[in-house]
Amino acid sequence: MISRGSAHDRARGRLATMSDTVRRRGRPAKLSLEAIVAAAEEIVGSEGVGALTMRRVADRVGSSPMAIYRHVRDKDELLLTLLDRVAARVERPELPADPRERLTALWRLIYDTLTEHPWVVAVLAGGDLAGASILWAVEEILRALLDCGLSRQQAAAAYRAVWQYTVGVLTIRIAMAGSAMDRPSGQLRILASVDLPLIAAFAADWPHPWDNYDYGLGRLLDGLITNP
């Protein structure tokens, strides 16, 4: 025999299950900024910054574009938040005491970080957006340049020169990574086949397009420090 209490408990259980089903089918879970930024990072990481739109993010999180705008003002604000998310993951290393060595370590850190997140290069190269969480590295670079004996104006110009060099190398690297051409071996075949004896002779010693970064960085820093 089944007691009234048992039947009542089962009825309450069925009502709770129905209520859970209604909630799942009804109003979606509350949208968070973290979910929006995570979705945006997935899009730019796989397809590039050009693919990022509020509509794409909304589709990714199962929401509407208007719901996204309640958390971020526009695409630029979303990119700034995303830049800070990436920059916040960068661990601050223990830097060498020697300012010249500090410069090498800091620029290599920036280069390696951007290599892992190529979409960031396109954003930063525009010059209008920058992640506040990585500005400590810029501060340390400027301090190291001053410690090398440069004036404030010289340090600013030196920073800009190395930044432009770094972005240039990364831009070439990103473009070649997306190319179907067999590089750099394809380039070497062309260099070796031309009827220009000096270029053909140099073909075997031609530097790799981006493995040459450390060499160029070192020579550039030496020149900027000794002849500011």
Residue 209 belongs to some domain of the structure? yes
pLDDT in tens, 101-145: 999 999 999 999 999 988 888 888 776 556 677 889 999 999 999
8 occurs within a structural domain? no
Q: Is residue 23 part of a domain?
A: no
CB contact at 8 A, 169 and 217? no
* 168 pLDDT above the threshold of 60: yes
Dihedral sign computed on CA atoms, order 190, 194, 198, 201: positive
Q: Give the list of residues 6+ apart from residue 103 with CB closer than 8 angstroms, or none.
A: 141, 144, 145, 148, 221
Q: How distant, in Å, are the alpha carbons of 84, 160, 186, 187 from that of 122?
A: 15, 17, 26, 25
Range with lowest mean pLDDT among 21-35, 42-56, 86-100: 21-35
pLDDT value at position 138?
A: 93
CATH of residue 222: 1.10.357.10
Is residue 73 in a domain? no
pLDDT band per the 50, 70, 90 thresholds, residue 12: very low
Does a structural domain hold residue 118? yes
Tell me the pTM.
0.74
On whether residue 145 sits in a domain, the answer given is: yes
Contacts of 106 (CB under 8 A, 6+ apart): 95, 137, 140, 141, 144
Domain range spanning residue 170?
99-226
Tokens of 83: 């830049």
The helix (H) or strand (E) run that includes residue 159 is helix 152-177
Q: Determine the Cα–Cα distance for residues 212 and 49; give it in Å rounded to an integer.
A: 27
**DSSP state letter for 90:** S
Query: What type of residue is 156?
Result: A
With beta carbons less than 8 A apart as the criterion, state whether 55 and 65 touch: yes
